[in-house]
Amino acid sequence: MPTFNVLVTSKHLVPEARQMLERAGAQLSFMDEPINEDTLIEQLSVGVFDAVLLRGNKPFTSRVLSAAKGLKLIAKNGAGVDSVDLDEASQRGIAVAVAAGANADAVAEHSIAMMLALIRDLHTLNAKMRQGGWEGTSWLGRDFRGSVVGIVGYGSIGRGTARMARALGAQVIVFTRNGRAADDFEVEKDFEKFLKRLDILSLHCPLTAQTRGLIGRKEIAMLKPGALIVNTARGAVIDEAALIDALSDGHLGGAGLDTFQVEPISADNPLLKMDHVILTPHVAGVTHSAAQRVATMTAQNIIDTFAGKPLPAANVMVGKEKA
């Protein structure tokens, strides 16, 4: 059986995925934190790796890729590859694959959970009760049913979120720049008109040059007073300073954030002190079932690549199937 060397950018890998790879002839090497440009270059310089199994958003910049002699594949254990220089990978003939849709339901559920918790103020009520408070009939909540939920990014996660929101009685609008149909959901291609209608803005787009800073001061000001923002996409899709200001001055009613401009979030970030903000540490897609699906799909991408089999087109970010 031919063997191939795989560098895993983590200390761990789901056992089922590890077994799949080892049975197919993979020789696995694991990395300890910190994992940054310098440690990646050091690791890639001392060994010849055929593939990288990329866990987390480790920086595969042009510097790192130039040190990766013989590298044929970067297989992301997930869907976001904004930490990989795709143009450089393409120029060097390095394929880049993702586990498209494998954790979509988990992320969609997390998004809906944040919406419900925010609109019913569950986090604040919980905190007050633990401090001896009892709101009783003095508290007046908001309804999710009938709320207008706007979806930006209609891939597998956006689609799942839209379906769940509608099942709970929300009115769903999907933003698409070209007006392309989004199943049977209402579509709006005018971003300003879209934002002005929303009670809840839910972000699910990839981080690209076009989406970086997509939600800035101007866009936040277009939202209704008291609107909510949920971000399970990438932190840099939102101008974080503008978000903090809008939360501070009361224009926004709250936010649910799973991703941030800097991760881990810094200890002095004002978001940590805001009681109308729900924060989670980039774990929306991390459930037991989702983790298994993502890891085994990632392993299968590696196995199929070295067996000469084509990958599903949705999984290919750089490679022959993408061309």
Q: What is the pLDDT of residue 299?
A: 98
Q: For 44-73, what is each residue's pLDDT tens digit?
A: 998 899 999 999 999 999 999 999 999 999
With a CB cutoff of 8 Å and minimum separation 6, the contacts of 62 are 85, 88
- Round the average pLDDT of the chain to a whole number and report it: 96
Asked if 288 is an active-site residue, the reply is no
| pTM attached to this predicted model | 0.91
Asked if 234 is an active-site residue, the reply is yes
Q: What is the pLDDT of residue 323?
A: 47
- Annotated catalytic residue, options 110, 234, 240, 293: 234
Instruction: Decide if 274 contacts 96 (C-beta within 8 A).
Output: no
Instruction: Decide if 179 contacts 207 (C-beta within 8 A).
Output: no
CATH numbers and ranges of domains, the chain = 4-102+288-322 (3.40.50.720), 104-279 (3.40.50.720)
Asked if 142 is an active-site residue, the reply is no
Name the nearest CA neighbour of 120 among 168, 74, 160: 168
Angstrom distances, CA of residue 284 to CA of 112, 223, 290: 11, 24, 10
Q: What is the pLDDT of residue 136?
A: 82
Torsion of CA 206, 210, 215, 216, to 10 degrees: 150
Q: What is the pLDDT of residue 322?
A: 61
- Annotated catalytic residue, options 263, 276, 288, 293: 263
Q: What is the pLDDT of residue 47?
A: 84
- Annotated catalytic residue, options 159, 204, 282, 293: 282
Which residues of the chain have a pLDDT value below 70? Answer: 320-323
